Structure 1
Amino acid sequence: MTQSPIAFTAPKLYLLTNDDDFAVLYQKLDTALATGLIALLQIRRKKTLSLPNGVSTLFEEAEEITKLAKMYNVPVVINDDIELAAKLGVGVHLGQTDGQINDALQVLAPHQIIGRTCHEDVGLIKAAKNDGASYAAMGAIFASTTKPNADTISRQQLIEGCQQGIPICVIGGLSAENVVELAGLPIALIAVVGDIMDLPVEKIAQRCDEWQQALSKWNTPT
């Protein structure tokens, strides 16, 4: 059975952390989460992990972020680390080479979200569903600053992905302006990093509101 509590009629915002210094990151997350417009938060801190004491530093950061998200009732997933997710009592997002969904199911609480990277591959999406993932992530939709060389996928591939009976998350170069190109598709989550997190703190809330405005028109006929 699918683990997911995610069942949206229109896409919701799925925010991913960037590699800002932690103090700045925390301020940005507090501002974004306070808008009430973030449905899911992923902790992904590649530069922190690359430090000599990266594992312990990431645990400390993730503890603080998880406490913050809990204040705003926003669920959290950890990128690629089932063990850390289990320690923190949160969900996990797994790349194709970063652990098995079944392993996550064995150690995480039943209500926790388990995401799976599936690119454009319908076969991987079907496998994610059968294995019990909460959502399948498709992308890149556009080139992005995070992954400028990622292969982009077509609208037809997205349509096929959305027909597999598992909530679909889209990721890659998405902005409040270009997301309209996906309007009308039955997408559950729209993952955003740079379009929100690369802004200064004082502009975060306004950008979240611009996203909300874009998504509120998702199913409106033109």
Structure 2
Amino acid sequence: MATNNLIRGVYAITPERSAIWSPDAIVDCVAAALEGGVQLFQCRQKNWDEDELIEFVGQLNALCEKYDATLILNDVPASEFPKFTGAAIAGVHLGKTDEAIAQARSRLGAKWVVGASCYNQFELAENAVQAGASYVAFGAMYPSGTKPNAVRAELDLFSKARALNVPTVAIGGITIDRVPELMKAGAHAVAVVNGLFGMEPNAVQVCSVAQQWVDAVNGCSQ
């Protein structure tokens, strides 16, 4: 799988289910983000019943297929990954408390994407790539409303990571006006949750904001 072409641009992470964000509302706003031009999504949902999550991922996959977009699943063990089927599903993203990168790569084989959260540590990124990671994510780059206690990462991580020859993702507190400095620093993709989806569901707004994010990233690559 050509990870370098998949992990680029706006990397949208789904809002987690809550009293405000129902599964249907999340699906509606993902559809709106796709309509706005976003091509890369991560399904990040914790503590769901397995059957319910499989059905939800199926809905997201159908939308992403329609728009020829890519879907990454957060924290799905490689042993469970075959239960999630769909042409848009490219692989998994793993954090430090999730399945080990080497184990996931061994179980999944070379076909699938395995992403790794590396926080503010280049050594973690080196180890992740050696273990088979397809891309690495650094952050939080800025204060984050989604993860207010997250460690802070420095921009120079992206220049260091060029030697790893895998795509890099910036995450945490990213706003549209910060896209240019992140792309200039060497990030291949910018991850966004609240900055795209807002604090409550509004599909019309999400579509408009998605277009702004896509334009901001494309403007940096011209």
Cα distance in 2 for residues equivalent to 1:166 and 1:43: 21
Structure 2 Cα separation of the partners of residues 121 and 33 of structure 1: 32
Aligned residues of 1:162 and 1:187 also touching (Cα < 8 A): no
Deviation at 1:197, TM superposition (A): 1.6
Change (3 A) 1:84 1:42: farther
1:210 corresponding residue in structure 2: 212
Per-residue displacement from partner, 1:150-193 (whole Å, max 9, x unpaired)? 12112223322344322111100111122233241222211111
Counterpart-to-counterpart distance in 1, 2:144 and 2:213 = 17
1:22 to 1:37, Cα distance in 2 relative to 1, 3 A: same
Correspondence 1:45-194 to 2 at 5 A = 45-46=45-46, 49=47, 54-82=49-77, 83-89=79-85, 90=89, 91-108=91-108, 110-194=110-194
SS of 2:153's equivalent in the other structure is: coil
Q: Which runs of 5+ in 2 are unaligned?
A: none
- Which residue in the other structure is 1:5 paired with? 2
| Shift of residue 219, structure 1, vs aligned partner | 4.9
From the superposition, tell whether residues 67 and 162 of structure 1 become closer, same or farther in structure 2 (CA, over 3 Å): same
1:25 is matched with 26
Question: Which stretch shifts more, 180-189 or 141-150?
Answer: 180-189
- Contact kept, 8 Å, 1:120 with 1:161, in 2: the verdict is no
Unaligned residue ranges in structure 1 (runs of 5+): none
Spell out structure 1 runs of 4+ moving beyond 6 A. none
Query: Aligned partner of 2:133: which letter?
Result: A
CA contact (8 A) 1:141 1:172 kept: yes
Deviation at 1:109, TM superposition (A): 5.8
SS in 2 for 1:184: helix
Question: Structure 1 vs Structure 2: percent identity of aligned residues?
Answer: 26
Q: What do residues 71-105 of structure 1 show as CA deviations (whole Å, max 9, x unaligned)?
A: 22222111111244332143100112201223322
Contact 1:120 1:158 in 2 (8 A): no
Q: Could you tell which deviates more after superposition, 18-27 or 83-92?
A: 83-92
The separation in 2 between residues aligned to 1:107 and 1:84, in whole angstroms, is: 10
Query: What is the number of residues matched between the two proteins?
Result: 211
Name the amino acid aligned to 2:96.
Q
